[in-house]
Amino acid sequence: MTTALRRLRNYIDGEFRDAADGRTTEVVNPATGEAYATAPLSAAADVDAAMAAAEAAFPAWRDLIPAERQKVLLKIADRFEERAEELIAAESENCGKPVALVRSEEIPPMVDQIRFFAGAARMLEGRSAGEYMEGFTSIIRREPVGVCAQVAPWNYPMMMAVWKFAPALAAGNTVVIKPSDTTPASTVLIADIIGSVLDELGHSRGVFNVLCGDRETGRLMVEHTVPAMASITGSVRAGMQVAESASKDLKRVHLELGGKAPVVVFEDTDIAKAVEDISVAGYFNAGQDCTAATRVLVQESIHDEFVAALAKAAAETKTGAVDDEDVLYGPLNNANQLKQVKGFIERLPAHAKIEAGGEQVGEKGYFFAPTVVSGLKQDDEIVQHEVFGPVITVQSFSDEKQAVEWANGVEYALASSVWTKDHARAMRMSRTLDFGCVWINTHIPLVAEMPHGGFKKSGYGKDLSAYGFDDYTRIKHVMTSLDG
């Protein structure tokens, strides 16, 4: 006897709809490896409908005074809190994440971030007016860009949806967002929440639309003529494809792509404290985080002691069922990701040494053991490329110059951290590390007020903060004659 799969649907112009051609794809719970739902496989007709809804809703939403948009976002934040248990259940099933961690580590920051951008809605301002030519006054208008096509990833489906829709809506844009084909459930639930708030407050529900689908759906969204901006969080390959597609009609593009964060540990570091924090920052969310602390560079004088302590911490780190409050992380998101992580381990060079883990665990689902690999060289594949799994690599460096050279010696430039008691060294490193974020004696904390975004192949544009808000606006110069 088979269990009926739950039916997820697109959300277009305030209505839940199947794909126009009826096509669907199965959605798998990565903790069990079994399908639990179906979702639409949206095609051109669905994209057209969602874009038309967002385009029709844009003028009225754009013309609202900021206080009214703030009111909507604050109500959405309240509703997230009221329906938190539904969101937690959806995200846990989506990703196999431990329920306790979704409750403590995702719901509170999401609510805070929505409220932050609710406040930002009332800061839609330009520089002060002035006379820069005799007889004329210049003013600056800051305006929304229009309809935003947004593509969210599968590692943090709910939170990345918030990072996208909150600044976009606050600035006066309308949204068509696509979750990953492997994790649509929580975004569909968010559509229900936002739609109900828009309806209650008397606004068009076409302000926010959700399309389920695959890469082809995302391509159709980016290439569509309606959006003025395309925003994606995903792989470098996907970002390059989006940038190329968007260039055909000069859409604005916002890209948050991969990472390979260096964690530079100097010999004066408190080893026990560093290992404790780094292991959490490396294994949290199964290492499926662009900022994860998974590439550790340790000064050679403390290398052996550090590796032994890190391997011990890995052995004590637990992965497992969603209802186990003692686990730090759940499974990898999908079968392909499990295959990718296994591949990195299988292709390790002879000089590498697996200090802990290195294998799949459990009889079902996509769980992988907390892993430490030492003895690596700078040009090794696992050092240069994003694993996106619970694997921490360790290299040994001799001095500060070499540490900087190796830390910067990858194609990614999203996040990094420095571990030292020497303040001057920390300041030097924060200047020379070529990454969008440098943490000192910590790794991975984020706050709504500070920007998140990288350089090089980690993309461009910022999430969070006033800088992320600005990315969803455009600047207009207005000049008026004083002659009357």
CA–centroid distance for 240 within its chain: 17
CA-based nearest residue to 269, from 422, 87, 44: 422
Active-site entry in 91, 93, 256, 355: 256
Determine the length of the chain. Answer: 484
Whether the CA torsion 284, 288, 289, 294 is positive or negative: it is positive
Residue 202 neighbours by CB under 8 Å, 6+ apart: none
**Is 290 noted as a catalytic residue in this protein?**
yes
Residue 42 neighbours by CB under 8 Å, 6+ apart: 10, 19, 178, 211, 212, 213, 217
The two three-digit tokens of residue 295, written as one number: 């590439």
Strand ranges (E), 370-470: 371-374, 391-397, 412-413, 415-419, 437-440, 455-456, 459-460
The two three-digit tokens of residue 147, written as one number: 């309809």
Active-site entry in 95, 148, 212, 290: 290
**Is 256 noted as a catalytic residue in this protein?**
yes
Helix runs in 3-106, H state only: 44-63, 66-82, 84-95, 99-105
Residue 112 neighbours by CB under 8 Å, 6+ apart: 448
Conformation bin of residue 14: beta by default, left when phi > 0, alpha when psi is -120 to 50: left
Task: Check if the beta carbon of residue 387 is closer than 8 Å to that of residue 294.
Answer: yes
First to last CA, the chain: 81
Mind telling me the catalytic residues? 256, 290
